[in-house]
Amino acid sequence: MAFLPPEGELTIGFAHAAYQLGDEFALRGRSARSFEVRNLDDLRERAPEADVLVVSGLWRNDLLPKLPRLRFIQSISAGTDQFDKVAIAQAGIRLASAQGGNERAVAEHAMSLILGLTRQIHLARDNQARQHWRPMIGDRARREDELGGKTLVVVGLGRIGLRLAKLAAAFDMRVIGVRRSPEPQPHVEAVIHPDRLAEAVAEADFVALTCPLTPETEGLIDARILGAMKPTAFLINVARGRVVDEVALLDALGNGRIAGAGLDCFHEEPLPAASPFWRLPQVIVTPHSAGETRAYEGNVVDILLDNLDRLGRGEAGLRNQIV
């Protein structure tokens, strides 16, 4: 018995608040039926029709018992921590991530945060809003800086981390990678084990988080690690909010123990209006948009179609297989 119905009988549900995944799928000329929803209420109503769901942030695990037809979930994001993988496996449903679909975008976003903080672009924008022409600065410690010769510590040398290392090398930065496996990597001077993270960040001018959220990485950047960083160093987070202890980070920023941060993800999203992060001049906040580019729908649909073809051929392995 085939794992999925024939493509002409297949129903695919696309669920995202903004992304135009259904339109992108329609351009591919496939025969499967599809629908698209923008909110959780509509997802709850339409999801029982689906053999395949393409979903990420709108997913809720309590949907599972109500989806008798569901056979495959294609996550829209690289992260899959919102999915109850045990329950999904027990239901006989397959799950794959969109890892690699945004590796270029997220690495470039991390690099833009590094450049923005180094060249003080955020402060220039603030000055523009005030129509203020900043005078020349005598205090060299307060001036914009250059990246050549600076040390970048990349925590998580997956696809995003390795691409960031390549970009940093183009700016003549020295790159240290943090990962469990010690194999040498291109554009990375040294690869060290996470047990030595405090030792690594002590050398860093920038610490960039590109790791997945796991039990091992949750709260990884805590008061001890922040305390090991230089007061001139910056933290860049394009991973997941819960990799960082936000209370400890706010304390470090407020007391000048690190120079600043570029943050794309937070414990609570959308970031509440009352959050102190909004008001810190040494912080650049972006709304978990690192992976969001004009190319993203196409990249996700490429992965989806690859996996549908694999399942249609009866193959056991999926691209970016999780379950």
For 260-306, how does the pLDDT look when each residue is reduced to its tens digit (9 = 90+)? 999 999 999 999 999 999 999 999 999 999 999 999 999 999 999 99
pLDDT tens figures, 115-144: 999 999 999 999 999 999 999 999 999 999
Q: Residue 30 maps to which CATH number?
A: 3.40.50.720
Give the pLDDT of residue 79. Answer: 87
Give the pLDDT of residue 1. Answer: 58
The answer to whether residue 317 sits within a structural domain is no
Do residues 115 and 215 both lie within one domain?
Answer: yes
Do residues 180 and 149 both lie within one domain?
Answer: yes
Do residues 182 and 304 both lie within one domain?
Answer: no
Do residues 53 and 149 both lie within one domain?
Answer: no
Do residues 21 and 40 both lie within one domain?
Answer: yes
Do residues 245 and 135 both lie within one domain?
Answer: yes
User: Domain span at residue 71?
Assistant: 7-101+293-312
3-state secondary structure the chain: CCCCCCHHHCEEEEECCCCCHHHHHHCCCCCCEEEEECCHHHHHHHHHHCCEEEECCCCCHHHHHHCCCCCEEEECCCCCCCCCHHHHHHCCCEEECCCCCCHHHHHHHHHHHHHHHHHCHHHHHHHHHCCCCCCCCCCHHHCCCCCCCCEEEEECCCHHHHHHHHHHHHCCCEEEEECCCCCCCCCCCEEECHHHHHHHHCCCCEEEECCCCCCCCCCCECHHHHHHCCCCCEEEECCCHHHECHHHHHHHHHCCCCCEEEECCCCCCCCCCCCHHHHCCCEEECCCCCCCCCCHHHHHHHHHHHHHHHHHCCCCCCCCECC
Do residues 124 and 88 both lie within one domain?
Answer: no
Do residues 52 and 179 both lie within one domain?
Answer: no
Do residues 55 and 197 both lie within one domain?
Answer: no
Do residues 252 and 275 both lie within one domain?
Answer: yes
Is 0.85 surpassed by the pTM of this model? Answer: yes
Q: Please state the domain count of the chain.
A: 2
Query: Which residues are designated catalytic?
Result: 240, 269, 288
